[in-house]
């Protein structure tokens, strides 16, 4: 079984401030972890993914995430928010074996608002 | 066309109508997926196809009927839907089942 919890359904930051979106996961097998972004009226776009290589993963648009096995976390960060970062962000886990193999389980999503 | 495309982008239908959603991927992938995204609920996996064979049906009601004629095309046939079926339906594809999934823009379905 696998699950994802995103802490905070809404996060608001000022332009230029640090962005931190929290994600904790549960998985009975070593996981693959993903962050996707969804802009209004669009599908999901992959930001970055962890697939058991380096624990610090760099993605598009200046985002990065760190896999911490001891904390079962995969938080998403960006040093300086831009107005164009306003969107909804989804964390997802996929199992690497067993019944969860290849199945993405998503968190509830976090809506990021960026103020001028 | 590149990536994953979905048509129509918007659909309004009555509960007695029959309609179909279409998904096409131009990435040479072997696996395709249907997801349902409802307001205030996490994305729900509905169906998975791998090399045209259905490998997952996540307890989806029979009023949703998927069809995968080849690895590039995926359909979702709809009949006698309920208002609670109104949602954004997303299609995705991946090279293999454990590979990164790439999503289409979705079809916004409204059932009256």
Would you call B112 helix, strand, or coil by DSSP? coil
Structure tokens at A49: 């993914």
B-chain CB neighbours of A57 within 8 Å are: none
Give yes or no for a contact between A58 and A42, defined as CB atoms under 8 angstroms apart: no
Q: How many CB atoms lie within 10 A of CB B96?
A: 12
Sign for the CA dihedral angle at A66, B40, A101, A89 comes to negative
- Closest chain A residue to B39 measured between Cα atoms? A108
Please count the CA atoms within 13 angstroms of the CA of A110 that sit on its side-chain side: 25
pLDDT digits (tens, 9 = 90+) for B48-77: 999 999 888 888 999 999 999 999 999 999
pLDDT digits (tens, 9 = 90+) for A63-116: 999 999 999 999 999 999 999 999 999 999 987 777 777 788 999 999 999 999
Q: What is the pLDDT of residue B1?
A: 57
pLDDT range class, residue B78, cuts 50, 70, 90: very high
- Omega before B21 within 30 of 0, i.e. cis: no
Whether A46 contacts chain B with CB within 8 A = yes
């Amino acid at each position: 079984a696998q699950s994802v919890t995103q802490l905070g359904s809404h996060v608001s930051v000022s332009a230029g401030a640090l962005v931190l979106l929290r994600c904790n996961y549960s998985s009975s097998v070593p996981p693959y972890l993903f962050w996707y972004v969804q802009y209004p009226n669009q599908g999901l776009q992959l930001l970055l993914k962890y697939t058991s290589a380096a624990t610090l993963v760099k993605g598009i648009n200046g985002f990065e995430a760190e896999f911490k096995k001891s904390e079962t976390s995969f938080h998403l960060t960006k040093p300086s928010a831009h107005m164009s970062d306003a969107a909804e962000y989804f964390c997802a886990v996929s199992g690497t074996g067993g019944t969860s193999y290849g199945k993405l389980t998503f968190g509830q999503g976090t809506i990021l608002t960026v103020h001028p | 066309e590149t990536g994953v495309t979905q048509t129509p982008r918007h659909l309004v239908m009555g509960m007695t109508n029959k309609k179909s959603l279409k998904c096409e991927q131009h990435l040479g992938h072997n696996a395709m997926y249907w997801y349902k995204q409802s307001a205030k609920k996490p994305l729900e996996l509905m169906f998975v196809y791998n090399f045209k064979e259905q490998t997952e049906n996540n307890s989806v009601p029979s009023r949703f009927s998927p069809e995968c004629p080849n690895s590039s095309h995926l359909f979702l046939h709809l009949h006698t839907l309920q208002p609670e079926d109104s949602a954004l339906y997303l299609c995705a594809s991946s090279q293999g089942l454990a590979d990164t999934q790439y999503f289409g823009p979705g079809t916004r379905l409204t059932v009256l």
